[in-house]
Structure 1
Amino acid sequence: MTAAAVGLSHSPLIGQNDPALDVLDRVGEAITTAKKFIAEFDPELVVLYAPDHYNGFFYKEMPPFCLATEANAVGDFGSAAGKVSVDTGAAKLIAQGVLDRGIDLTISARMTVDHGFAQPLEMLFGGIDAVPVVPVFVNGVATPLGPVSRIRALGTAIGQAADELDLRVLYLASGGLSHDPPVPVLEGAPPRVADALIEGHPPTPEQRAKGEQRVVQAGRDYVAGTSTILPINPSWDNQLLDLLQDGDLAAFDDWTVEWMGQQGGGSAHEVRTWIAAYSSLQASGGYEMNYRFYESIPAWIAGFAVTTARQR
């Protein structure tokens, strides 16, 4: 098997609260570079690590991570809705291989995914049905959160299991980096909000539109300097990228849940998807990061990064 990895930040504010044109141009160039890398690699399977934002996973049952054998996108924030082209056969084989390696993996036969999964598939492949995918949800929002070492173990096991498929596999990470958007939390939530976070009642179109507008306004407030959210942290973001580039993934085991939130904001744990993807690639042998882009983008409330890497 030949393996590669791409890391790509996402944001619900892309296309809805955009930065200056020169920033968009730089981001566009970075995405084009990643697309060229993918076209050259020509993956036969994409293992996509992404978080959820209380659209598919709720506190009634909140696994630390979950692999899908089928998936449907909800279509939030203007992202694509509908059936994701999951390679069910490959997903089942990888799932069994992960379980055989002692990782307590949750399986979903009908996963609901949101923009965290849809955006990278749309941006890099042109649609959510354009390439065979194995979706892997990695919780990066709902506390309590486990140690990062378990995410590394997950990524390693998936990499080892996928290695047995004898396919060109692209590990794709979606999320982060530092960002602190207005995501609801269960602790201290009003009864109506708590019930929605636990039971997962689908919002009405009006409720969804209102919630999405709240996030858009948060981006505008952040740019205007009137927001109380934790600032984007380029230093922490680049520390993460340095460790990924150096292949020093074991160093992430020292990153505590509390420290990550303090440094990167309430949604900084989405970087767990990057750690998982690069752990999968490392499981196939040494790798080299051959492209790295980073920009702090207040309009998107995100430290935005794009990376590509391939086996040596």
Structure 2
Amino acid sequence: MTLALLATSHSPLLEHADLDPAVAAELDAAFGEARAFVHDFDPDIVVNFGPDHYNGFFYSLMPPFCVGYAAESIGDYGSPAGRLDVPEDVARELAEAVIGEGIDLAVSLDMRIDHGAVQPMEILYGDITAKPFVPIFINSVAPPFTPLRRVRLLGEAVGRYLRTRDEKILLIASGGLSHDPPVPRLADATPDQREMLLGRAGPVTPEARRARQRRVIDTAREFAAGTAAIQDLAPEWDRKLLRVLASGDLAPLDAWSPEEMTRVAGNSSHEVRSWIAGYAALGAAGAYTVRYGYYRPIRELIAGFALTTVALA
């Protein structure tokens, strides 16, 4: 057994934002560090913790956690579309082991995933089928949210299973940190948005998808200019989270309530659940050390953007 972790923010705006050249160079350097770490590790399997943005999971049935036995990328925001190479036997054994520990993990034999799951593979390899890939969905946009303690326990259970395997396994945690993009919310949704959130609007037409994406791109530009009516980023909250994760003791995060996370760091700050699960999974295999860390609040991406590479000590 050998495990390693890449935890990284994602953003559908990476190819659409007008970044300051110095910031763009920083991001390129951070992605270069990630690629070097991962290529040196050379995993046999990737296990990905990631969210969804009402592209594969809807309020018609919204599980807190789900593992895919098979998965297809929908290709939103120009991300690669198509089937992923999911090793069904590994996904099934993982699900059985985690459920056996009392974690209520749903399973999908036909999971739909979006940029939130595949963007790290695209950045690392330029090919979402480059490695066998097991997707684990964590609900991070649709209240009510499960307590962070359950997210930590999920990660620990996944890590205990993975440490029994002989392969080299890369954990990817995708999402966060603080951000509040214009994602529809059930509490104040229009009738059409409510149908979409419930998954009853039918297949999304190319025109509707482009309009949805255009709204996010336009909001990002307004946010960078200081005119968008969305919640600000929370660098202090982001840095506190990164310090706790690096410490190896994730238990203090159990006390972070979903309501306070939303209030301080934005509704989509809940994507850090992927980071908590990833760090917890690695910690279940042993003590770890952060090899590389990057953080900058980037308004053009509507994100407190972070990336860490983490290895067993």
TM-score, normalization by structure 2: 0.98
- List gaps (5 residues or longer) in structure 1: none
1:183 and 2:183 are equivalent in the alignment: yes
CA distance in structure 2 between the aligned counterparts of 1:177 and 1:19, rounded to whole angstroms: 18
Contact 2:65 2:104 in 1 (8 A): no
- The within-5 A match list for 1:6-45 is 6-45=6-45
1:101 aligns with 2:101: yes
What is residue 62 of structure 2 aligned with on the other side? 62
1:233 is aligned to 234
What is the distance in 2 between the residues matched to 1:173 and 1:18? 26
CA distance in 2, matches of 1:91, 1:223: 41
Q: How does 1:299-310 map to 2 (within 5 A)?
A: 299-310=300-311
Partners in 1 of 2:229 and 2:187 — Cα distance? 19
- Deviation of 1:128 (Å): 1.0
2:274 aligns with 273
Show structure 2 runs of 5+ residues with no match. none
Distance of 2:300 and 2:151 partners within structure 1? 30
In the other structure, the counterpart of 2:81 is 81
Structure 1 CA distance for aligned equivalents of residues 105 and 206 of structure 2: 33
Distance in 1 (CA, whole Å) between partners of 2:24 and 2:112 is 30
Between the two proteins, the alignment pairs up a number of residues equal to 312
Structure 1 contact 289–307 (Cα < 8 Å) conserved: yes
* CA displacement at 1:202 relative to structure 2: 2.0
Task: Give RMSD over aligned pairs.
Answer: 0.9
Give the residue type in structure 1 aligned to 2:227.
T
| Correspondence for 1:247 | 248
Other structure's SS at 1:144 match: coil
Partner of 1:260: 261
Alpha-carbon distance between aligned partners in 2 of 1:195 and 1:294, rounded to the nearest angstrom: 37
Aligned residue in 2 for 1:210:
211
Task: Name the CA distance, whole Å, in 2 between partners of 1:269 and 1:279.
Answer: 16
Q: Distance in 1 between matches of 2:126 and 2:34?
A: 13
Quote the offset at 1:88 in angstroms: 1.4
Shift of 1:118: 1.4
DSSP 3-state at the match of 1:27: helix
Tell me if the contact between 1:18 and 1:300 (Cα under 8 Å) persists in the aligned partners. Answer: no
Residue 146 of structure 2 is matched in structure 1 by 146
Alignment-mate amino acid for residue 128 of structure 1: I
| 1:117 paired residue number | 117
Q: C-alpha distance in 2, partners of 1:202/1:20?
A: 37
| 1:194 corresponds to 2:212 | no
What is the deviation of 1:177? 0.4
Paired residues of 2:7 and 2:172 also in contact (CA < 8 A): yes
- Contact 2:293 2:306 (8 Å CA) reproduced: yes
Distance 2:195 2:251 in 1: 38
Deviations 1:188-242 (A, max 9, x none): 3222211121125221111110110000000010011111211111111111110
Between stretches 198-207 and 268-277, larger displacement belongs to 198-207
- Aligned to 2:188, the other structure's residue is in SS state coil
1:160 corresponds to: 160
